[in-house]
Structure 1
């Protein structure tokens, strides 16, 4: 598993560092490392590793197969009544076979398929690799460090743009939100280790590192980002505190359920208020303010979107059809908008359902895990943040954010079922 573990770390660090630096090779290098990690994990895994993977993914293994299959189906030649209208028009002009794919751009959808396969591979590798608690802690440290550095770049850019000129604001905002949850988990790790008679000096050092990372991330997400992104992070923090309170007070199942339902009702009220503040399509209500022409073009695009979308990853191609100014580029205002345009209502509903399913699985796992509950708790908080943030900005469309979130989810799922002690 050493090679798989190394590939996992390389994928996280390379994808995030290179993309923040503006290099175009980050996604490719991260995907290559994910493929290498999958091969290494498959060749060195034992029966116990396979059984652990099966337990960790019992909540929905079919999802890991369905996602790439759905994207691949958009590439398949289909009858023109099912294909995108652009192929119908092409057939009327130049003739040929009465077939066409759902996607409007085969190349962009192939890229989306490869990224999905890389993300799923990293999730599987993470589940197997971090089965060992020591490796799980190291992966948590790497994730918290990478995301905290991303948040620091955003802080420096806002304080002095000359220090960080080309920082992608949307990506660093999303990574800062993830970093806040992960560094809070590092602080919990330090507290749990101190209580179990580990080295006090080491526990204090780990706790201070987590505190610094949490403060840097909090400054970026609460002080330098939009209100909706800050609310998304607040939901994640509240979820971590909810799990901590239930565990520390050792609440009965009835009391824990009542407290969880109360928190759920409160979150629903806040989300309803956020969505009702603005008018227009629901997918555009949490995004930052935009020009009137841009908003009108996006509304036309959303209104014309079919049930199966125009092809995963093809927002930029479809945007060129609707942009009002030939010199302007219509970009996705949020990750949810891009998913809807690419995968239609089916893809958007599936994204929300999968996120909620993973959230419930991690929440229950955190309450059952014991002193290592901070792993699934942090992962649950990250999933909740990502779900809300997907409606507020496009940061989660970046390969670095997708790969980091896949590893976080794998870490949480693995440690939600892992037994105490290393194996």
Structure 2
């Protein structure tokens, strides 16, 4: 597995370069790397790895639902009420009854989205098997956190007029595309601080005085947190700043629950109740809010993209227009004279349009299942609990953040999130876990 792990580290190290390379090149590079990693992991997997991987069969439905749904959107369907109105209209206009009735208005784009999802899923599976080893997990956490912090630093540098003018590629980071990376950087740096303190204080159960290496690691972690939060503030992401603070609270909750000896399931249920109460209180303030505005909880600065999303959502059916088709819809619904295609105001709004309204609660439910598993694993773990607690915090912050902006739609953010999920799942069970 050394080859696969080296490729995974190289992939994460290269993620900050996404600002300077084309998306198509990065996409095909991920396809190649994940194929090699998955093949290497599969051939080198031990019986213990296979047994451990069976633990995650509970996520089979969560992994298979996007595949099945995209396939349904692509293939011809005999039930006309499920299909997009564009196909019967095209059949009449072209006088060609052989035109297939599909949900997706662009099956090719949906097929490319399915291929991308399979690559990201392969990355998660490979990371789960590779990060079961504690030493590899530590290296992976440090690499992921460092790459995310560097992206946050690039985004912060884009706010400096001199650098943005001299290096236009850095200036392009002055968008919301890398807000998720800043969130991962902030929570990942918190995990690295916890890791440094755990490794320093828990050897043979002895509490030793503070050392220079420990203080240096803590200083680096604090600096990374400051850079990440400053990046979010500079991007005007005040809501994500608050959500990141909520992520810190989750990690603190895990540490407190472990110290007080709480059991994993009661702790997870208590955290879920607190999150549900917060969500209900928030949504109650927006009962009269139109659906598209609710799915883009903070009104976007780009009112044009919000208007396009509102028009597209009002015309879309409960089955959606097809994953990966928003760019085509934007050209249809945007005002005349707008040059480039508009982006979705939020990830949740895009999911409601492309996947259909029914997909929002389903995908949110799967995400909460992942959160509860990671949180329960973090409380049940020993000194390695910071891996799973960081993943639990990242997952719930990203879920809430999907209603704020569209940064999760960025391929770089998806790669980093996949690595974070794989790392947390791999370290949610172990010899010191009681789950």
1:175 aligns with 2:187: no
* 1:68 equivalent in structure 2: 67
Q: Distance in 2 between matches of 1:313 and 1:98?
A: 21
SS at match of 1:79: coil
Pairwise CA distance, 1:121 = 0.2
Bigger shift: 335-344 or 260-269? Answer: 260-269
8 Å Cα contact 1:173-1:225 kept in structure 2: no
* 1:52 equivalent in structure 2: 52
Q: Distance in 1 between matches of 2:264 and 2:74?
A: 47
SS at match of 1:408: helix
SS at match of 2:428: helix
Q: How does 1:17-416 map to 2 (within 5 A)?
A: 17-24=16-23, 25-55=25-55, 57-79=56-78, 81=80, 82-94=82-94, 95-97=96-98, 99-160=100-161, 161-162=164-165, 164-167=170-173, 169-197=175-203, 200-251=211-262, 256=267, 260=271, 263-264=274-275, 267-268=278-279, 271-272=282-283, 275=286, 281=292, 282-291=294-303, 294-328=305-339, 329-416=341-428
Q: Distance in 1 between matches of 2:63 and 2:220?
A: 34
Pairwise CA distance, 1:11 = 2.8
SS at match of 1:78: coil
Q: Distance in 1 between matches of 2:133 and 2:143?
A: 16
Q: Distance in 1 between matches of 2:100 and 2:273?
A: 52
SS at match of 1:59: helix
Judging changes above 3 Å, is the alpha-carbon distance between structure 1 residues 356 and 253 closer, same or farther for their aligned structure 2 residues? closer
Q: Distance in 2 between matches of 1:150 and 1:239?
A: 24
Cα RMSD of the aligned pairs, angstroms, is: 2.5
Judging changes above 3 Å, is the alpha-carbon distance between structure 1 residues 258 and 13 closer, same or farther for their aligned structure 2 residues? closer
Q: Distance in 1 between matches of 2:192 and 2:323?
A: 35
Pairwise CA distance, 1:317 = 0.9
Pairwise CA distance, 1:78 = 1.8
Residue deviations 1:272-331 (CA, integer Å, cap 9, x gap): 37746966632133242333x553332121112212111111110111111122434232
Judging changes above 3 Å, is the alpha-carbon distance between structure 1 residues 245 and 225 closer, same or farther for their aligned structure 2 residues? farther
8 Å Cα contact 1:150-1:176 kept in structure 2: yes
TM-score (norm 1): 0.91
TM-score (norm 2): 0.89
Bigger shift: 386-395 or 64-73? Answer: 64-73
8 Å Cα contact 1:11-1:34 kept in structure 2: no
SS at match of 1:393: coil
Q: Distance in 2 between matches of 1:367 and 1:319?
A: 45
Q: Distance in 2 between matches of 1:392 and 1:139?
A: 28
Instruction: Report the count of equivalent residues.
Output: 418
Pairwise CA distance, 1:359 = 0.7
Residue deviations 1:329-373 (CA, integer Å, cap 9, x gap): 232111111111111023222221111111111111110012111
Pairwise CA distance, 1:213 = 1.3
Unaligned stretches of 5+ residues in structure 1: none
Q: Distance in 2 between matches of 1:366 and 1:356?
A: 15
Bigger shift: 219-228 or 356-365? Answer: 219-228
Judging changes above 3 Å, is the alpha-carbon distance between structure 1 residues 274 and 135 closer, same or farther for their aligned structure 2 residues? farther
